[in-house]
A and B are shown apart, each in its own frame.
Chain A
Amino acid sequence: MSGAWQFYISTLLIYLGVDVMACWGLNLQFGYAGLVNFSFIIFQAAGAYTAAVLTLGRPTPADFQTYVGGAHWPFPLPFLAAAVAGALLAAGVGAIGLRRLRADYEAMVMLVVSLIATSVVTNATGLVNGANGLDLVPPPLLGVVHLGPLAYQWFYVGLTAALCLLVYLVVHRITGSPLGRSLRAMRENEPAAAALGRNVTQLRLAAFVVGGAIAGLSGAVLVQFLSAWSPGAWLYPETFVYFTAVIVGGSGNNLGAAVGALLVPVAFLEAVRFLPPFGPPGLIDAIQWIVIGLLAMVFLWFWPRGIVPERRRRFPRRIPSRSAADGPAR
């Protein structure tokens, strides 16, 4: 395999790792806890900006980019900080947004939060360099591992895979635990879960914060690879790509989310690049978004449970009840 092909394949693998992580984070919020977080992408962005600023060093007056703070933290601190940033932002947004609103209000609030974030970051240029974004973020451990560009790229694939594994262990641990059962119970019937003594507000916030942390980490992995990050990379429709991925793959289960990440943001969006150009400029892009929108609707109609459906959990029925037998009907 030629060097150029190896660069391409490894780039795709890194993107796959980032998208799988992000889908797991979203799945925890959406698939398990039933939170429609339309601002999901801003948590990835927060992680990316955090990791970037903490590796770029302090901005010099002669610099072409301006940002707040700046440091040269060694690996893995920027990644850790990114996850913390995602979690803190999620705690803040959750405290405002998750005020026991109806699910659709909540989604609307989150959408607004996403647009606000884009507007603030774009207009407050001193924060993280506005619309031009941050550039020249140094790659982690480059000075330590002493590898050529291609070998380093494969090294980064390994690093991404390791972080994916770590995230998987966390989400698996959560979803398989009593906490995961409580989340599902809350998703299915919130008043009932509350009546059984579950603190619904705390549960929702917990899922939101952990999802935010994972999104933040995925952002760090992406920005440390890309070396650049700007608002163009995290406009609100990007969240929608992840939602489509989780719906297509199968929400409420981690394998499904991973399959969705492989199919939608990686396979579908990459396949579009190979289309021969046709029509006026922007047409292919428009069609791509139309297809993403239709994909979400078609799956919600025909296969609402996705390609890898959530496992139906059967428990011995102690109390005969009608409603408990109805599985998740989405």
Chain B
Amino acid sequence: MGLILAAVGFGVITASILALAGVGFTLQFGVTNVLNLAFGSTMTAAAFVAYVVSQSAPLVVAVAAGGAFGAVFSVLVNRFVFMPFIHRGTRLFGMIIVTLSMGLVVQYSLQAIFGASFFSLPDIGGPTFHLGSFAITGPQVGILGLGLVAMACVHVLLRYTTLGKAMRATATNSDLARSCGIATDRVIDVAWAISGCLCGLAGVALALDVTAFTDTTGGDFLIPIIAVAVLGGVGQPYGAMLGALVVGVASEVAAAVISPDYKDAVAFVILILVLLVRPQGILAEVSGAKEVAS
């Protein structure tokens, strides 16, 4: 029993990384309608940026640099790659090939630059807190805090600012939003920036959590992120937060109760179950006829 409670606690830590990534993923998808399969590789790239910065600056600066890189990189990729393709009339299934290509290019560029080796961010140390068989270390407290603060910021942004309202409006119906005088292009830029920033932070948090990362680390994490987004309903940041909690806790509990072997399978099973049982979260009827366009 103690082990299961501890597993729940550990699950919350994993969930905070999943929440950062999942909210970023779903927010951008909801607003811009582009399913970004380069998300995982962008996370890895941010982790590498943080690694480079951490060689000559404190870790806090490195974390911020990772987030900033994610934001800038995402906006640029959207402006100079994804958007032009959309304006050229590339359709949904063309776009998904474009984003996947982008992901491969980013991942293998990292391998070309840094080599197929393993890298570690500096250890921030700090005390380990014990609570029965649950224990939490300094870096994990940091990851947890990062996740909570970021989620609070997203909440404030979406609920209490005009920009948030505009984003929600664009996500619901971009044509209508534009007719109502919302500068949807600007909103889309902002959405990419916020999503990219969360993506970058998630990448750094992931690198801290796994302690040794390589060029495939973020890409390997893409499935749980997709599971989180799908579970929460794509375009639903609050859904993604809840989804992150479910996926994070479920996989740790599965490792405790069944076998560590089946830990990753949990995200898969959740994804398949959602698709079979509750596909309305991701059903075609609402947006099926709508091509990717702004």
Contact = CB atoms under 8 A, between A and B. Distances in A.
Given A108-B37, A282-B115, A38 B271 contact: no
Interface in B89-130: 89-98, 100-105, 107-109, 111-112, 115-116
A96 interface: yes
A127 to B, nearest CB: 13
A104 B288 CA distance: 10
B212 to A, nearest CB: 17
Interface residues of A, number: 48
A104 B97 CA distance: 9
Interface stretch (A111-119, A162-170, A219-227, A256-264): A111-119
B271 A292 contact: no
B287 A119 contact: no
Nearest to A104: B35
Interface residues of B, number: 49
B94 A293 contact: no
Interface string A82-111: 000000000000001101111111011101
Interface string A268-282: 000000000001111
A286 B111 contact: yes
A112 B226 contact: yes
B272 A289 contact: no
Contacts of A116: 265, 268, 272
Looking at chain A's contact residues, the main secondary structure is: helix
A102 B108 contact: no
B32 to A, nearest CB: 12
Contacts of A243: 97
A73 to B, nearest CB: 32
B283 interface: yes
Contacts of B100: 38, 111, 240
A330 B223 contact: no
A287 interface: yes
B275 interface: yes
A301 B85 contact: yes
A42 to B, nearest CB: 14
A300 B276 CA distance: 33
B11 to A, nearest CB: 20
A153 B261 CA distance: 42
B104 A96 contact: no
30 contacts: A38-B100, A96-B275, A101-B284, A102-B92, A102-B287, A103-B96, A104-B96, A115-B268, A116-B272, A119-B264, A123-B265, A247-B97, A280-B115, A282-B111, A283-B112, A283-B115, A285-B108, A286-B111, A290-B109, A292-B104, A293-B101, A293-B105, A296-B98, A296-B101, A297-B81, A300-B90, A300-B98, A304-B90, A329-B89, A330-B91
The 5 lowest CB-CB distance pairs between A and B, nearest first, are: A103-B92, A293-B104, A293-B101, A286-B112, A104-B35
Interface of B: 35, 37, 81, 84-85, 88-98, 100-105, 107-109, 111-112, 115-116, 223, 226, 234, 261-262, 264-265, 268, 271-272, 275-276, 279, 282-284, 287-289, 292
